[in-house]
Amino acid sequence: MAMYVVGHKIPDSDSICGAIALAYLKNQIGEEAIPTRLGEVSPETQFILDRFGFEAPELKMSYAGEDVYIVDHTEKTQAPDDIDQARVVGVVDHHKLGDLTTSTPLECWIRPVGCSNTIIKMMYDFYNVEIPKGIAGLMMCAILSDTVIFKSPTCTTADIKCVEALAEIAGIDDAKELGMEMFKVKSAVEGTPARDLVMRDFKDFNMNGNLVGIGQLEVIDLAVFDDIKADLEADIAKLKEEGNRHSVLLLLTDIMKEGSQMLIASDDEGLVAKAYGAEISDSKVWLDGVLSRKKQVVPPLQEAFAG
């Protein structure tokens, strides 16, 4: 019976590239695996797939009765809706442990690094499987994306070394230059509906029994949002009401200035202010040095909700 390798809802490049890379590895070691996805491919991920000649994995939303290998999360809110009816046979992730549970033992590769694909590279090394040129390119780009071209506080020496090794396999002379090309694609927001932008990289979290949605848009200049910021603010307010969420936060991250403006729709802005020790003005706040949702945004907010 084949296993399905799948990332989180609203998949990013790590989830999509990771599913492809891990499924290939599993097939090479005699474990039949099929990469799938839980949502549409982002413009950045499509750029990566096109650059290295890959099709997007199959869109598959239901996994009841199937064997599933989870990539890039351990949160029920981000997993397939019927994950409780599936058999989770493995997890590869670089986030905090979530609330996903299993009825049988499973394979776990969890490391405090900047990207799941860094861990998948370690898995290739462990099994002594050669990485094909194209898959090396996918993995390299996913790491550059997740670590914001090494600027993110989540970035480790392991991530940098993996990019160097993968770039050599993929035949890429200047990985950082390719990373900037990717972020230029991410920065092209003109003509895209506000809802599509908010949902481009959006994750729900259970914070002490409260549903909190956090989106992030990483660009090379926040000026691209000048004409549409009001639309984004209106949309996160709608998203909060539609999903019965306590809060919806949208990070507009400037990778060159290395900080984020947070747009806030919340039942309690005071909680958000407490979490970041910041003064909120007009439901907005600038968070200097904040690039990582995983390391700099989620943990302090969870502490505020807990306490």
Question: In the prediction, which pLDDT does 1 show?
Answer: 87
Q: Is residue 52 part of a domain?
A: yes
pLDDT given at position 110: 98
| 160-219 pLDDT, tens digit each | 999 999 999 999 999 999 999 999 999 999 899 999 999 999 999 999 999 999 999 999
- Unique residue bearing structure tokens 């481009």: 200
Per-residue pLDDT reduced to its tens digit, 40-95: 999 999 999 999 999 999 999 999 999 999 999 999 999 999 999 999 999 999 99
Same domain, 166 and 201: no
203 is a domain residue:
yes
Cα–Cα dist 138/229, whole Å: 32
State whether 159 and 224 are in the same domain: no
Are 13 and 83 in the same domain?
A: yes
Q: Which residues contact 205 (CB under 8 A, 6 or more apart)?
A: 75, 77, 211, 212, 213, 214, 298, 302
Contacts for 9 with CB less than 8 Å, ≥ 6 apart = 38, 39, 78, 79, 203
Q: Are 33 and 134 in contact (CB under 8 A)?
A: no
Do 30 and 128 share a structural domain?
Answer: yes
Residue 178 lies in a domain: yes
Average model confidence (pLDDT) for the chain?
Answer: 96
Whether residue 163 is found in the same domain as residue 47: yes
Instruction: Say whether 151 sits in a helix, a strand or coil.
Output: coil
118 lies in the same domain as 164: yes
Which of 136, 165, 184 is the C-terminal boundary of a domain? 184
pLDDT at 307 over 90: no
pLDDT of residue 117: 98
Span between the terminal Cα atoms of the chain, in Å = 46
Whole-structure pTM value:
0.92
Same domain as 199, residue 165: no
Q: Is 189 inside any structural domain?
A: no
The domain total for the chain is 2
Q: Domain boundary residue among 136, 159, 184?
A: 184
Cβ(143)–Cβ(166) below 8 Å: yes
Q: In this structure, is residue 176 part of a structural domain? A: yes
- Final residue of a structural domain among 149, 184, 219: 184
Instruction: Tell me, yes or no, whether 214 and 110 share the same domain.
Output: no
Looking at the fold, whether 174 and 302 belong to one and the same domain comes out as no
Which domain range does residue 259 map to?
194-306
Same domain for 88 and 138? yes
Instruction: Please report, for the domain that includes residue 212, its CATH number.
Output: 3.10.310.20
Identify the band that residue 109 occupies on the pLDDT scale cut at 50, 70 and 90. Answer: very high
| Residue 19: pLDDT over 90 | yes
> Within 13 Å and on the Cβ side, how many CA atoms surround 70?
31
**What's the full length of the chain, in residues?**
307
Q: Domain holding 167: CATH number?
A: 3.90.1640.10
Query: pLDDT tens, 138-163?
Result: 999 999 999 999 999 999 999 999 99
The answer to the question of residue 253 being in a domain is yes
Tell whether 42 and 144 lie within a shared domain.
yes
| pLDDT, tens digit (0-9, with 9 covering 90-100), for 259-303 | 999 999 999 999 999 999 999 999 999 999 999 999 999 999 999
The answer to whether residue 206 is domain-embedded is yes
Please choose, from the candidates 168, 122, 139, the residue with its C-alpha nearest in 3D space to the C-alpha of residue 54: 139
Residue 279 and residue 228 share a domain: yes
